[in-house]
Amino acid sequence: MQLLANVPKIKFMQWRKQAMMVSGVFLLICLVSIMFRGLNLGIDFTGGTLIEVGYQDSADLTKVRGALESSGFPDAVVQHFGTSKDVLVRIAPRDDLSSAQLSTKMLNILEKTSDTAIDMRRVEFVGPQIGDELVEKGGMAMLIALGCILIYVWIRFEKRFSIGSIAALVHDVIFTMGLFALFQLEFDLTVLAALLAVIGYSLNDTIVVFDRVRENFRVMRKGTPEEVINNSINQTLARTLMTSLTTLLVLLALFVFGGELIHGFATALIIGVIVGTYSSIYVATSTTLMLGVTKQDLMPPEKEGADSTPVM
């Protein structure tokens, strides 16, 4: 197959064993962090109280957080909600205060942060039963997504490719969750949504590489499977890096300017895009190569009874 002159010739698969060893070490660290440190679940999963208040002027969130911390609520999450005059406060469950008492105390604390009156917009209590249900349904959604992806790749490509793609996706999810557990970053519904987005992003990147691998297996008459995969990764490398870099630019802008509301969402996606790019190059293809994929596995089946002589 004749390649373009500007296509790099990096031998990625030459370092696949070292890459897999590094991935294994990091995955072990992530799994240990998840098992022993656990995820720092947000109020969406643990339950708690949501309080929305309205200021007549723009609210100073730093001042609000300081007032809550000095009043015994250091873990309260404070953020703008809609406009700079609207503030949303999320508080973990308190055994010593009922929902009504908690909202009254919150209003008294917040009134000290403004020279004008504050309007209490809403108070919502999220019970632990709802949090447990969200954890269960969130985990089920992730498993269903992985199962559907396994079936899709199996039908479109070949079973070795489907196993490779699932290995890459599991790698990305565990790595992202492990970092959240290791650094005790808050894990809420937005982060769960980001994990599902990471699965979609990583799969798209892997499918692009696999599509080129399948094409090259069929047209390259010479070359080992390792050489075919190297050529395929090099041919799609520019597209992979361009997609990843442009996505990261958007995510970094969201991380810096998006506010605390989507801070965890942007963090999870930044980790997922970086790890997903790596896994599509090394984890997915290395797994497929270790499973022994060959040209014969990807050749289109011959139709029975097909006549090669053209009809005149």
- In order along its 312 residues, the chain shows pLDDT tens digits of 444 457 788 889 899 999 999 999 999 999 999 999 988 887 777 777 888 888 888 888 888 888 888 888 877 878 777 778 888 888 877 777 776 777 788 888 888 888 777 888 888 777 666 567 777 887 788 788 778 877 887 787 778 888 888 899 899 999 999 999 999 888 888 898 899 889 888 888 888 898 898 888 888 777 788 888 999 999 999 999 999 999 999 999 999 887 777 888 999 999 999 999 999 999 999 998 888 876 665 655 555 554 444 444
Quick one: 254 and 291 in the same domain?
yes
User: Cα separation of 224 and 162, whole Å?
Assistant: 21
Quick one: 215 and 279 in the same domain?
yes
**Residue 312: its pLDDT value, please?**
44
**Residue 244: its pLDDT value, please?**
93
Split into its structural domains, the chain has a count of: 2
Domain final residue pick, 60, 95, 126: 126
Q: Which residues pair with 186 in a beta bridge?
A: 40
Residue 305 maps to a domain = no
Quick one: 62 and 105 in the same domain?
yes
**Residue 150: its pLDDT value, please?**
77
**Residue 20: its pLDDT value, please?**
92
Residue 81 maps to a domain = yes
CATH code for the domain of 34: 1.20.1640.10
Quick one: 175 and 289 in the same domain?
yes
Start-end of H helices in the chain: 16-32, 43-46, 61-70, 99-111, 128-156, 159-182, 189-219, 225-257, 263-281, 283-290, 295-298
Quick one: 17 and 116 in the same domain?
no
- Which residue type does 72 have? G
Domain final residue pick, 126, 141, 160: 126
pTM of the model: 0.79
Quick one: 119 and 235 in the same domain?
no
Quick one: 278 and 175 in the same domain?
yes
Quick one: 114 and 198 in the same domain?
no
Quick one: 143 and 19 in the same domain?
yes
- 80 is in which domain, residue-wise? 48-126
Q: Which residues pair with 95 in a beta bridge?
A: none
User: Cα separation of 53 and 87, whole Å?
Assistant: 5
Domain final residue pick, 126, 157, 179: 126
**Residue 296: its pLDDT value, please?**
66
Quick one: 23 and 156 in the same domain?
yes
